[in-house]
Amino acid sequence: MDKTKLPRLVSTKKVLHRLSVMSVLWCLCSGGVYAAATSSAPNTHTAQLTSSVHENQQADTPRIIAAGGSVTEIIYALGRGDWVVATDSTSMFPAAATEVTKLGYFRQLSTEGVLAQQPSLLLGASATGPEPMLEQVANAGVDVHVYHVSKDIVGLSEMVLDIGHRVSAVEKAKQLVTDLHRQVDAQQVQYSEAIASYASANYSNTINALFVVANNDRGITVAGADTVPQALFDTLGMTNIAGDLNGYKLMDAESVLARNPDVVFAAGHMLHGENALNSLCSHHAIAATFAGQHCLVKAMDSSIGLGLSPRFTIALKAVAEHGLRALSLKASDTAKQGPANQEQVIKKLISQNIVLETSLNSDSHRDAAGREE
């Protein structure tokens, strides 16, 4: 019985093998016929499938509302500008950002205006609001995230990395942060080497700086601590004469005069007309300072001077160049006056119990004249 069963078993294996081979060949042939048919037949069905896939891809692509110029710049820098469906009125860089729908000022967005864009994601800079709008938009199913980060390179890096994660551009975000830190480090070294060449016992090579953001009847509004100007000054080792204020505050003329800024920066949005900078130089709070006397007032694009922009290093370079110009003028003034200035002479005379009445009166008169201006 074993001898008869064994051949049948072998025969069965052969049959199964042949059937499997035939099955594969049939599938291959039928597949080839189907492929040939679809390639030669009209593309109606294929077009419908492509359209359907395209629609699904569009549905899966985030619809982003970017509120705040800094957030908008980061999204575009990460290559996701084509996902942005609307921005606020401060988002004017890059040029492509000006072509999308504008929803108004990022602090005063409306729920209806935001939801009308059918967004899936709203990313906002600090102060994006108002708060009820954020809550209503979130309750409507939109992913809302407002960035409250420190106003410096660390906060900028955190924001870039988080936005990179949310817009599926993690590697680009890491590279952008790496590049930013490398450029900042390089500028710090260059500035340190440059100011070292101005080291002198006759004047300080530390720069006193001031950033003016508004000028009206109430006085000048300046940038204090926890602002981007503060971060720019700190990065280069400059002293913000308004550093004891927090945020953007009014500063009285007496305080500006007493702290004597070497350089003044002005937000570009506040300057109107060709003579705007000269007018600020002659402002009664600035005219008698070193910056005012040499008209060391520089306009800076508000988007990089006040916002956490990926162009942080461009703003940093402008601040460094302006500071070095002030040091150059200090060195020049000292050379004209000789190795010892009037203040040092008076100190020396006082130490010897000699009071030079005419020098003191002259100094007092000059201070009074400066205050009157």
Secondary-structure class of domain 195-338 per CATH = alpha beta
**Average pLDDT rounded to a whole number, residues 301-314:** 95
Round the average pLDDT of the chain to a whole number and report it: 80
Q: How far apart are CA 207 and CA 234, in angstroms?
A: 11
Kindly list the domain boundaries of the chain, sorted by start residue.
Answer: 61-148, 195-338, 340-373
- The CB density around residue 50, as the number of other CB atoms within 10 Å, is 11
pTM for this model (two decimals): 0.73
CB 191 within 8 A of CB 323: yes
**Average pLDDT rounded to a whole number, residues 36-62:** 41
Q: How far apart are CA 30 and CA 6, in angstroms?
A: 36
Alpha helices in 262-311 (DSSP H): 276-281, 290-293, 302-305
Fold of 61-148: Rossmann fold (3.40.50)
* Pick from 322, 335, 359, 310: nearest CA to 70: 310
pLDDT tens string 63-76: 999 999 999 999 99
pLDDT tens string 133-143: 999 999 999 99
User: Is a pLDDT exceeding 80 seen at residue 47?
Assistant: no
pLDDT band at 203 (very low <50, low <70, confident <90, very high): confident
Distance in angstroms between the alpha carbons of the first and the last residue of the chain: 126
CB 129 within 8 A of CB 205: no
What pLDDT is recorded for position 360?
Answer: 32
DSSP string of 167-231, one letter each residue = TT-HHHHHHHHHHHHHHHHHHHHHHHHHHHTT-BTTB--PPEEEEEEEEETTEEEEE-BSSHHHH
Q: How far apart are CA 230 and CA 37, in angstroms?
A: 69
Which percentage of the chain shows pLDDT scores above 70?
74
What pLDDT is recorded for position 338?
Answer: 54
User: Is a pLDDT exceeding 60 seen at residue 211?
Assistant: yes
User: Is a pLDDT exceeding 50 seen at residue 54?
Assistant: no
Which residues 6+ apart lie within 8 Å of 340 measured at CB? 202
Q: Do domains 61-148 and 195-338 have the same CATH topology?
A: yes
What pLDDT is recorded for position 366?
Answer: 32
Q: How far apart are CA 55 and CA 47, in angstroms?
A: 12
